């Protein structure tokens, strides 16, 4: 920030008779940097810079300009330019160049005015802005065009969104299900959570995390007559898309990629949202929701002879689990179900059951989570740098292309489902059997699948009675 000043201060040659007079310009806008960088911070940084240079601040000009691209008049900026033309200031101080200008046209007239007056321009972010050289002006124009590109991009998106709303017949703008827009007293628009809708999103998330299928969740929403975002009956894909929205976790998406935190309140916490994303993209889950299993243990119990999954078949009119490959083993469904449910109940009744499935906080997982967090931070930082004009679009693309796969990989390693919601209400339940029977089949299956493995072995030929000894149970993971 050692400014080689070229304007009035430098040209005055010999020791200045008076202390250079500085004018500070701050602008409040609703862009992301604007939110992160309140006017007070802009002002403080500029004053600090002036102090370091030993300049006297003769004026502070602050415009409240919520849209950087509105073309709305800025009265304080106009006053600043009057001071510049009247040679009442020697240096203009701003936080960064695009606080000063919102368009190339504004930049050009600014250049003319400061050159004519021999005024220096210094910004906290970009250092001295030497508009007296071709390089300096080019830099200023390029920085300005990036800021403008951002603004144009933003208005383009707004326009497209409006068009979309128009075709969808929503005259007042499409709001996201779960939030509504509210105008704050200072004129800004904020998205606030609609409690009833947020509750629906949370309920879907809870049910899915508890192991219920998309199908049963969807059916329940329709059965209860809960209105869907589209006003039509709920569909599986609609439920899935709704609950997986990044914005539920307060994340902002730009062109298909998460670029940072949104300016709204989250409905789901980040950890649960990631669990959902992992759960719903789990291929095992997809098949089980494709054709909802009609029986507690089909596909979960395996044949002790060939290893194939058991499926239900009729055996002399009695529903039975049977080896689906070669019919090596067969058991009456009612017997095997009763055995397994009894085991699950017993396991969950144990005093240590509460701590049975604490989230896996293994070292590896914590490391993976931290790594993913750090990579997200780097992506956010790159997006900020781009927004600040420090890097160009191609650089941003390169950084993103490099970090995305690393992030996906780290997220993959960190995806260990927290089974706590699955067992919610089951551990220590007073009327356990009733609670169990009231759960949807998909959730009961998920509980079984979480707790144990079942291998059905051959019994002595001709044995008519059910032999629990011929069923091998393995406790899974921390259930052991
Ligand atoms: Zn078999």
Report the domain count for the chain.
Answer: 4
CA of residue 282 to ligand 1 center, whole Å: 26
- Boundary residue ending a domain (262, 289, 316): 289
Ligand 1 centroid – CA 292 distance (Å): 23
Q: Along the 480 residues of the chain, how does pLDDT read in single tens digits?
A: 334 455 545 444 434 447 889 999 987 765 444 333 567 777 888 888 888 888 899 999 988 765 545 567 788 888 999 999 998 999 899 877 667 776 777 777 888 888 888 888 887 766 666 666 665 666 666 555 545 545 554 455 445 544 444 333 333 345 788 988 777 777 667 788 888 899 999 999 988 888 788 888 999 998 888 888 877 888 888 888 889 888 898 877 655 556 666 777 889 988 888 888 877 765 444 333 334 457 899 989 999 999 989 998 888 888 999 998 899 999 999 989 988 988 888 777 665 565 555 444 556 666 777 777 778 778 877 777 777 777 887 888 888 888 888 887 777 666 554 555 677 778 767 778 888 888 878 788 888 887 888 999 998 765 567 888 788 888 775 444
Beta bridge mates, 463? none
Exposure string of 32-45, with b = 16+ CB inside 10 Å and e = fewer, is: bbbeebebeebbeb
Ligand 1 centroid vs 455 CA: distance in angstroms? 10
Distance 213 CA to ligand 1 centre (A): 28
Residue 337 near residue 398 (C-beta atoms within 8 A) = no
In a domain, 270, yes or no: yes
Query: Closest Cα to residue 238, out of 251, 254, 226, 256?
Result: 226
Residue 77: give its domain's CATH number. 3.40.50.1390
Same domain, 323 and 455: yes
Q: State whether 89 and 233 are in the same domain.
A: no
Distance from Cα 477 to the centre of ligand 1, integer Å? 25
- For residue 253, the domain's CATH number is 3.90.1750.20
Domain that holds residue 383: 363-414
Q: Domain for residue 268, yes or no? A: yes
Q: How many CB atoms lie within 10 A of CB 389?
A: 21
* Integer Cα distance of 249 and 389 in angstroms: 28
- Pair (431, 320) in one structural domain: yes
Residues 6+ apart with CB under 8 A from 400: 257, 379, 382
Report how far ligand 1's centroid is from the alpha carbon of 336 (Å): 16
Q: Ligand 1 centroid to 331 CA: how many Å?
A: 12
Kindly give the residue spans of alpha helices, DSSP state H, lying in 27-123.
32-36, 39-53, 75-85, 97-100, 104-117
Q: Are residues 43 and 113 in the same domain?
A: yes
The torsion angles phi and psi of 305, rounded to 5 degrees, stand at -95, -55
Among residues 38, 159, 29, the alpha carbon closest in space to that of 102 is found at: 29
Tell me how far the alpha carbon of residue 463 lies from the centroid of ligand 1, in angstroms.
18
pLDDT value, residue 130: 63
Q: Are residues 222 and 338 in the same domain?
A: no
Q: What is the pLDDT of residue 354?
A: 56
Residues with Cβ within 8 Å of residue 68, at least 6 apart in sequence? 29, 31, 34, 98, 102, 147, 151
Distance 380 CA to ligand 1 centre (A): 53
CA of 298 to the centre of ligand 1 (A): 14
351 and 445 within one domain = yes
Q: Where are the alpha helices (DSSP H) in 297-362?
A: 333-349
Same-domain status, 270 and 248: yes
Question: Which of left, alpha, beta for 13 (phi over 0: left; psi -120 to 50: alpha)?
Answer: left
Which class for 383: exposed (0-12), middle (13-18), buried (19 or more C-beta within 10 A)?
buried
Any domain includes 369: yes
- Is residue 3 one of the residues assigned to a domain? no
Q: 318 C-alpha vs ligand 1 centroid, how far in Å?
A: 19
Distance 231 CA to ligand 1 centre (A): 49
Considering the domain architecture, whether residues 320 and 431 belong to the same structural domain is answered as: yes
Measure the CA dihedral 203/207/208/214, to 10°: -90
Claim: this prediction has a pTM higher than 0.85: no
Q: Is residue 235 part of a domain?
A: yes
Q: Is the distance from CB of 148 to CB of 387 less than 8 angstroms? A: no
Spell out the residues 6+ positions from residue 233 whose beta carbon is closer than 8 angstroms to its own.
222
Q: Are residues 320 and 197 in the same domain?
A: no
The kind and range of the H/E element at 60 are strand 56-64
CA of residue 329 to ligand 1 center, whole Å: 6
* Pair (300, 379) in one structural domain: no
| C-alpha 309 to ligand 1 mean position (Å) | 8
User: Do 246 and 131 lie in a common domain?
Assistant: no
Is the Cβ–Cβ distance between 317 and 311 less than 8 Å?
Answer: no
Final residue belonging to a domain, choices 289, 304, 329? 289
Q: What is the pLDDT of residue 401?
A: 84
Which of 123, 150, 177 lies at the terminal end of a domain, its last residue?
A: 150
């Amino acid at each position: 920030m050692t400014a080689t000043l070229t304007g009035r201060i430098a040209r005055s040659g010999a020791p200045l008779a008076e202390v250079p007079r500085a004018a500070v310009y701050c602008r409040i806008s609703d862009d992301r940097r604007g939110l992160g960088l309140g006017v007070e911070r802009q002002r403080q940084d500029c004053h600090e810079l002036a102090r370091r240079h030993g300049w006297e601040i003769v004026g502070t000009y602050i415009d409240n300009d919520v849209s950087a691209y509105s073309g709305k008049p800025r009265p304080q900026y106009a006053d600043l330019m009057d001071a510049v033309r009247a040679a009442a200031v020697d240096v203009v101080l701003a936080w960064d160049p695009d606080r000063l200008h919102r368009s190339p046209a504004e930049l050009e007239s600014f250049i003319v005015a400061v050159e004519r007056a021999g005024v220096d321009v210094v910004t906290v972010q970009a250092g001295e802005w030497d508009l007296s050289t071709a390089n300096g002006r080019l830099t200023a124009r390029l920085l300005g065009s990036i800021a403008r590109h951002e603004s144009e991009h933003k208005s383009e998106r707004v326009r497209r969104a409006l068009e979309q709303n128009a075709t969808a017949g929503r005259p007042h703008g499409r709001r996201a299900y779960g939030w509504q827009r509210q105008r704050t007293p200072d004129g800004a628009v904020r998205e606030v959570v609609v409690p009833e809708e947020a509750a629906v999103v949370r309920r879907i998330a809870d049910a899915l995390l508890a192991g219920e299928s998309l199908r049963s969740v969807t059916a329940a929403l329709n059965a209860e007559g809960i209105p869907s975002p589209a006003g039509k009956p709920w569909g599986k894909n609609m439920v899935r898309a709704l609950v997986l929205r990044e914005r539920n976790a307060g994340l902002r998406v730009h062109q298909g990629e998460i670029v940072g935190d949104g300016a709204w309140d989250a409905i789901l916490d980040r950890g649960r949202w990631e669990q959902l994303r992992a759960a719903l993209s789990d291929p095992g889950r997809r098949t089980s929701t494709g054709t909802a299993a009609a029986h507690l243990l089909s596909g979960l119990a395996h044949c002790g002879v060939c290893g194939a999954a058991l499926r239900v078949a009729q055996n002399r009119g009695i529903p039975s689990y049977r080896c689906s490959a070669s019919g090596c083993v067969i058991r009456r469904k009612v017997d095997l179900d009763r055995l397994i449910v009894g085991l699950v109940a017993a396991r969950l009744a144990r005093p240590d059951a509460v701590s049975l499935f604490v989230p896996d906080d293994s070292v590896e997982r914590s490391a993976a989570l931290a790594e993913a967090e750090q990579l997200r931070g780097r992506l956010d930082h790159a997006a900020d740098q781009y927004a600040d004009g420090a890097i160009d679009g191609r650089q941003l693309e390169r950084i993103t292309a490099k970090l995305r796969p690393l992030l996906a990989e780290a997220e993959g390693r960190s995806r260990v489902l927290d089974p706590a919601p699955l067992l919610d209400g089951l551990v220590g339940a007073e009327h356990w059997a009733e609670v169990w029977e009231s759960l949807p089949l998909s959730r009961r299956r998920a509980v079984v699948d979480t707790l144990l493995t079942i291998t059905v072995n051959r019994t002595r030929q001709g044995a008519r009675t059910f032999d629990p000894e011929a069923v091998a149970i393995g406790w899974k993971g921390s259930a052991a």
